[in-house]
Amino acid sequence: MKKVMVFGTFDIVHLGHLNLFKQAKKLGSYLVVVVGRDITSKKIKKITLVHNEKERLEFLKNIRIIDQAVLGNKIDYYKVIKTEKPDVIALGYDQQNFIDKLEEKIKEFRLNTKVVRLKSYKPEQHKSGEIRKKLLEKT
């Protein structure tokens, strides 16, 4: 079994996310999605989330292509990597948070994890920030 891991907030799941999951799944046979904790997501994105971490986790658990969805750690963001031992970490095309120490942590955990960057999928249409703006304009 080749385990692939992706990370994100996944507050408003859209076609861009589904494409991310599909791209990631092609890299292995078992897809683990790590859901950012509320406190972490709010700090990074500086927005009010629509769904709390438990709701986001539950939603993702019901997407067929995802084999396992887990909450990230509130304090040690890299702990889930040590616990799950993925063969591949697939980063979103625009993912910037917590990647600065990623290679270092993989070495520290004595893992042979490959890090890959996935392609964007119509970012002008399927980007959470843009979708959020459009939803707010309608209200």
Which residues are tagged catalytic?
43, 45
Q: Which residues neighbour 28 within 8 Å (Cβ) at sequence distance 6 or greater?
A: 1, 2, 3, 4, 87, 88
The whole-number pLDDT of residue 124 equals: 61
Q: What is the mean pLDDT of residues 86-97?
A: 91
Residue 126 banded pLDDT, cuts 50, 70, 90: low
CATH number among 3.40.50.620, 3.20.20.70, 2.30.30.100, 3.40.50.720, domain 3-138: 3.40.50.620
The whole-number pLDDT of residue 135 equals: 55
The whole-number pLDDT of residue 125 equals: 54
Please determine, for residue 19, whether its predicted confidence score (pLDDT) is greater than 80: yes
Residue 136 banded pLDDT, cuts 50, 70, 90: low
- Where are the domains positioned within the chain? 3-138
